[in-house]
Chain A
Amino acid sequence: MTKISDYISKNARQNVLEAIKRANDKNEYHALLSFTEARALERADAVDRGEITGRLAGVPFVVKDNFFAFGAPTTAASRMLEHFQAPLQATAVEKLEAEGAICIGKANLDAFAHGGSTENSAFGPTLNAFDKTKVAGGSSGGSAVVTALDIVPFALGSDTGGSIRQPASFNGVVGVKPTYGTVSRYGVVAMASSTDTIGCFATDAADAELIMDIMAGKDNKDMTTLPDFFKPTNVKPGLKIGLIKETTTDDVDPEVKQATLDYVARLKAAGHQVDEVTMPISKYALAIYYIVVPAEVSSNLARYDGIRYGHRAEGVATLAELYGKSRDEGFVAENKRRIMIGSYVLSSGFFDAYYLQAQKVRTLLINEFNKLFEDYDVLLGPTTPTPAFGLGENTADPIKMYLADIMTVPASLAGLPAISVPVGKSSNGLPIGVQLVGQRRSDADLLALAKSMEKA
């Protein structure tokens, strides 16, 4: 697969045109919802004239279509925002553009980033880069697939409960979900504000490190961003690593388990210590997640009222009808499920039993992580229990779909950095990923470990 360095010091217009051609040649994967071609070519010409310089001068990339970016609508893969032309750009996009990177298009996702397969896109699913009968994963499925197909060397995604790590694992690329608050969320469609993060897909850890280095940092437009802390580094020798026992039970696909144990053997051979550790509370993480996140979703999606922007239903007689019909037409089934679960767990009479209880168990989960980090630098397990599942296989059963996120949600609820690295393939050729989780603000250390293991 190509790397960022393969695009540097080349003709930028050529880089853009070739990337668009590669995307068109592979359009059967349905990874992209739109091109930003006119603006991309204008910027490429400015790079070629030497007017724009930087660490990513002339490098094409793709953003998930829940990022505001000029040159195409920001649809969030929904009918609600099908024609929404963002009046501003996401801070993450602005920072990459300031280094000369060129956005060529916008990637497919589950509508409003609700899902784990990209099958909830209002515009049809994205296909897995390694097997067109399998899902891309999600919600950032399109971004993972454009990276895996070598259309662009990196792409942006958002990760609320695994939406970068899970599709990265399903498509054999590196996926980074940073510490909560590392990258500004200004200009990205909000889903669940207490776990939403911005990260990236790349073909190796060094490229991912470069992109995170550029995007990270405090932004006055997002008051939840942390003071600057991200600094690229090299791996420290003799790390103490915990293999989470609950992620390698008999419920996990045997080939996924074996690939994880093989990676553990390689870590040991590289001089790191790996012990099995236990996280009993982690079995409740998915239940916490499917209370907290729908609650926040129901609040965040209340803004789509058909009045100020987005889809407005025709032929309504009352205000209640205007809201109700606009929202019914603009949201997909999974959006409605989450909004209504959120309304349920927040409603009087149920608040204490569901929402408050979930936030208390969330504290217990965080305490368990903190306890492990007293003794370990990194925690490890498979990113997903199975390789990519079949298209349509889980769509009839929401719980089955949610279970694909069972290994990624704990780090999200605790705000911890976590990355998925490709470690092998199943016997039928599907990629398998391992997840590395670290303490808050240890993002660069995780990437350093991943970099060193690519060479080992």
Chain B
Amino acid sequence: MTDISRDDVQHLAQLSSLALSDQEVDNLRIDIGNILGYINQLSELDTTGVEPTYQVTDLENVWREDKIDDYGLGRDDLLALAPESKDGQIKVPKVL
């Protein structure tokens, strides 16, 4: 396993926008350490000169007309999904 600190976990949680409880931080410290220990095995391979693979579609440059398509969805359909809305806008709590 790879040793990571509670501060490391808190930093990752902040990067990930997760407000974790103390118990979660303790559990994740162990789990993440174990998982990093497992995936570290890739470091033993020599990949000098190997190109990375980011996608496996065999496709490149898929073009389309620069034309707006709303896919049959209107503004109201999307606003209806928001936890709270008012006057045609998504409402959020005061955050400043």
Contacts and interface: CB of A to CB of B under 8 A. Distances in A.
Contact of B42 (A320, A327, A343, A358): A358
B16 to A, nearest CB: 5
B82 to A, nearest CB: 6
Interface string B30-43: 01101110110111
B73 to A, nearest CB: 6
A319 interface: yes
Contact of B34 (A291, A327, A361, A399): A399
Interface string A322-355: 1111011001010011011111110100000110
Contact of A363 (B19, B50, B84): B50
Nearest to B47: A360
A298 interface: yes
Given A88-B71, A344-B36, A415 B82 contact: no
Nearest to B85: A308
A345 B40 CA distance: 11
Contacts of B83: 306-307, 309-312
Interface in B10-39: 12-13, 15-21, 24, 27-28, 31-32, 34-36, 38-39
A321 interface: yes
A324 B92 contact: no
Contacts of B81: 84-85, 87, 308-309
B57 A364 contact: no
Given A181-B59, A415-B56, A340 B80 contact: no
Contacts of A235: none
A51 B61 CA distance: 41
A360 B36 contact: no
B17 A364 contact: no
B68 interface: no
Interface stretch (A14-22, A140-148, A282-290): A282-290
Contacts of A287: 38-39, 41-42
A364 B36 contact: no
B51 A360 contact: yes
Interface residues of B, number: 51
Contacts of B90: 307-308
B56 A366 contact: yes
Contacts of A364: 45, 47, 50
Contacts of B55: 194, 224
B88 interface: no
Interface string B58-83: 11001010000001110001101111
Nearest to B76: A87
Interface string A165-177: 0000000000000
A85 B73 CA distance: 13
Contacts of B36: 341, 344
Contact of B52 (A307, A360, A414): A360
B16 A398 contact: no
Interface in A41-66: none
Interface size, A (range): 35 or more
Contact of A357 (B13, B15, B20, B42): B42
Contact of A340 (B16, B50, B56, B93): B16
A87 B18 contact: no
Contacts of A306: 83
B28 A336 contact: yes
A324 B73 CA distance: 29
A261 B57 CA distance: 33
A415 to B, nearest CB: 3
A347 B29 CA distance: 17
B71 A221 contact: yes
A322 B56 contact: no
Given A224-B57, A336-B24, A343-B12, A322 B34 contact: no
Contacts of B9: 340
A265 interface: no
Contacts of A181: 57-59
B42 A291 contact: yes
Given A194-B55, A308-B78, A341-B36, 10 more contacts: A180-B57, A224-B59, A226-B59, A287-B39, A322-B93, A327-B18, A327-B19, A343-B16, A359-B54, A398-B31
Interface of A: 84-85, 87-88, 180-181, 194-195, 220-221, 223-224, 226, 284, 286-288, 290-291, 298, 302, 305-312, 316-325, 327-328, 331, 333, 336-337, 339-345, 347, 353-354, 356-364, 366, 397-399, 402, 413-415, 440
17 contacts: A180-B57, A308-B81, A308-B82, A324-B19, A337-B35, A340-B18, A342-B16, A344-B32, A347-B12, A357-B42, A360-B53, A361-B42, A361-B45, A363-B53, A364-B50, A402-B38, A440-B58
